[in-house]
Chain A
């Protein structure tokens, strides 16, 4: 399973765009990249998943360069409610398990 590295924490202000980068140097050919959001005492919430290039949904965008050794989660115009821990996970689409790292703690200030 590919190991991921993310910043431990990030700070932002309301209305700003936030980009969280994840490094996964040993990603395998059949691995997908998935991002989750977690609030205290709640289950991880699926945000976005991608394999290559760019994926966009109603809450975020995911940018994956051609070598796939990193990925960037982009949150447009964050609000206070986006304060949470964000996890980058790498694994097969039908994987036996997902390995969570320590994630990135995003703090949004007014």
Chain B
């Protein structure tokens, strides 16, 4: 069964450092998303991406965040200068009529 894969599964970074979270969406999917989930809280929408551009973003997705699809298979989320409050699980999803999620990257900012 096709699946969304995310790397790394866990990343620890120092406050102020840049991190890049990577995702390989399901190959024939056209819509890509990033979500995050702070421990014990709801899954929150960050950004959606379609046709090589951002189609919608939430208020969480400020100038510190960016997304890119550098080639035909990868979809990345960059956080330019991490803050303690960025610590969360980050989920990538892809869709062509029903969104499928990856297993997430646990980001810990220290």
A interface residue numbers (CB < 8 A to B) = 34, 36, 38, 41-46, 49, 87, 93-103
Q: Which chain B positions have C-beta within 8 A of A102? A: 42
Task: Select B42's contact among A46, A94, A100, beta carbons within 8 Å.
Answer: A100
Q: Is the CB of B103 within 8 A of A98?
A: no
Q: Chain B binding site: helix, strand, loop or mixed by DSSP? A: strand
List the A residue with the shortest CB-CB distance to B47: A97
Q: Which chain A positions have C-beta within 8 A of B42? A: 100-103
List the B residue with the shortest CB-CB distance to A87: B43
Q: Chain A binding site: helix, strand, loop or mixed by DSSP? A: loop
Q: Is the CB of A93 within 8 A of B97?
A: yes
The 4 closest A-B pairs by CB, nearest first: A43-B101, A96-B56, A100-B43, A97-B45
Q: Which chain A positions have C-beta within 8 A of B101? A: 36, 43-46
Q: Is the CB of A96 within 8 A of B55?
A: yes
Interface size, B (range):
20 to 34
Interface membership of B76, Cβ < 8 A:
no
Interface membership of B25, Cβ < 8 A:
no
Interface membership of B95, Cβ < 8 A:
yes
Q: Is the CB of A94 within 8 A of B31?
A: yes
- Can you list 10 residue pairs at the A/B interface with Cβ under 8 Å? A41-B106, A43-B101, A43-B104, A46-B98, A95-B31, A96-B31, A96-B48, A98-B45, A98-B93, A101-B42
Least distance between B4 CB and chain A CB atoms (Å): 8
* Contact (A97, B102) CB under 8 Å given A43-B91, A102-B42: no
